[in-house]
Amino acid sequence: LGSDWLSRIDAAADLAALEAERVAALGKQGAITGLLKTLGGMSPEERQTAGPRIHALRESVTDAIAAKKAAFEAAELERKLATETLDMTLPVLSAPQGSVHPVSQVMDELAEIFADLGFAVATGPEIEDDWHNFTALNIPESHPARAMHDTFYFPGESEGKRMLLRTHTSPVQIRTMTSQEPPIRIIAPGRTYRSDSDATHTPMFHQVEGLVIDRGIHMGHLKWTLETFLKAFFERDDIVLRLRPSYFPFTEPSAEVDVGYSVEKGRRVIGGSEGWMEVLGSGMVHPKVIAACGLDPDEWQGFAFGCGIDRLAMLKYGMDDLRAFFDGDLRWLRHYGFAS
Ligand code: PHE
């Protein structure tokens, strides 16, 4: 009986025939299933001899079906491998390919450099209220700095709730300090807006803010951080910084930071100290700003800086026209290697 089943399984021509044999032997109404059912009606003595034989039969048939099935599948794979070929000589279909804009590229570089220094990336809304953009940063309504910012205001609304396009990324300082516990180490890259347009100004531009709040922070930490950042960004060791006393309502003391440049082949390149270029504003976060965010300025100190990203990109990649950044002209991008 057993060899009968095994030869029928061996003779199955394909997977469908094999399945038919499986159903005939082991299915609900199958012959071997039927044999197993007869065990119940046997005397104990009969069952003792018949039982092991029937179970052995079921096992050998089950194994034979599995082996045959594996053989069919292996043969099918062989057939596919033999017939399905790739023609490597066919021409490639060319699809339009996007590329990274220099501003995005610089933002990625900044995030990477500052991540190594333990800074997280923070964001805030481009449509801000005047409290976050000005008041909390120690720039009250009547402050001349408000006029200096050439702000795009939205119509309506009262003081403190007047909506505007943020004029700098500094409101992200406020949003971070009011939502996170110190110690804080963040950078906040993003779009900023001022009603200003000429060869070196566009109404929309990009800044990156930096903010550190911790215990015992001083100007030395600020200078080291900026030096480390600029060396990594411009990939040069001969970066020289010059901190000039300055004024921002939200930092005290404040410093404008110049980076040294040298002239190579008639071009200004960052590094050395043949001349100075202003690259960012910075300072120690004003105690009033820390207090406005609900923190105790006697316990927490920090530094902040703000830097034009478009400017950084121009200096690093030797671009000389700011407005071209926002024209979307592929020829310009290609020229600087940002599109293919
Ligand atoms: N927000 C300032 C600007 O836009 C830059 C700045 C940021 C200065 C942080 C000091 C500290 O000019």
- 24 has pLDDT over 80: yes
Burial class of residue 187, CB neighbours in 10 A (0-12, 13-18, 19+): buried
> DSSP 3-state assignment of 63?
helix
- CA-nearest residue for atom 2, ligand 1, is 306
Mean pLDDT value of segment 18-32: 94
pLDDT above 90 covers what percent of the chain? 81
Lowest mean pLDDT of 133-142, 159-168, 250-259, name the range: 159-168
The DSSP symbol for 97 reads: -
Q: What is the mean pLDDT of the chain?
A: 93
pLDDT value for 159: 65
Instruction: Return phi, psi of residue 143, to 5°.
Output: -65, 135
Q: Which residues are annotated as a binding site?
A: 252
Which of 191, 192, 210 shows the shortest CA–CA distance to 114? 210
pLDDT in tens, 235-252: 999 999 999 999 999 999
Q: Give the integer Cα–Cα distance in Å for 323 and 288.
A: 37
Chain centroid to Cα 20, Å, comes to: 55
| Ligand 1 atom with the shortest distance to the CA of 207 | 4
pTM of the predicted model over 0.80: no
Residue 302 Cβ contacting ligand 1 at under 6 Å: no
Residue 248 Cβ contacting ligand 1 at under 6 Å: yes
pLDDT value for 146: 80
Q: Give the integer Cα–Cα distance in Å for 107 and 211.
A: 16
> DSSP 3-state assignment of 54?
helix
Instruction: Could you list the beta-strand ranges (E) of the chain.
Output: 120-121, 127-129, 163-165, 184-193, 204-214, 241-248, 251-264, 267-270, 275-285, 301-308
- CA-nearest residue for atom 6, ligand 1, is 306
pLDDT in tens, 159-180: 668 899 999 999 999 999 999 9
Distance from the alpha carbon of residue 237 to the mean position of ligand 1, in angstroms = 26
pLDDT value for 100: 92
- 33 has pLDDT over 80: yes
Q: Does the ipTM exceed 0.95?
A: yes
- 59 has pLDDT over 90: yes
Q: Which residues are annotated as a binding site for Mg(2+)?
A: 252
For CA atoms 170, 278, 107, 150, the dihedral sign is: positive
Q: Give the integer Cα–Cα distance in Å for 23 and 31.
A: 9
- 145 has pLDDT over 80: no
Q: Give the integer Cα–Cα distance in Å for 274 and 188.
A: 31
Distance from the alpha carbon of residue 170 to the mean position of ligand 1, in angstroms = 6
Evaluate whether 242 touches 222 at the Cβ level (below 8 Å).
no
Residue 283 Cβ contacting ligand 1 at under 6 Å: yes
pLDDT in tens, 289-306: 999 999 999 999 999 999
The DSSP-derived string for 26-46 is HSTT-HHHHHHHHGGGS-HHH
Mean pLDDT value of segment 79-89: 88
- CA-nearest residue for atom 4, ligand 1, is 168
Chain centroid to Cα 177, Å, comes to: 23
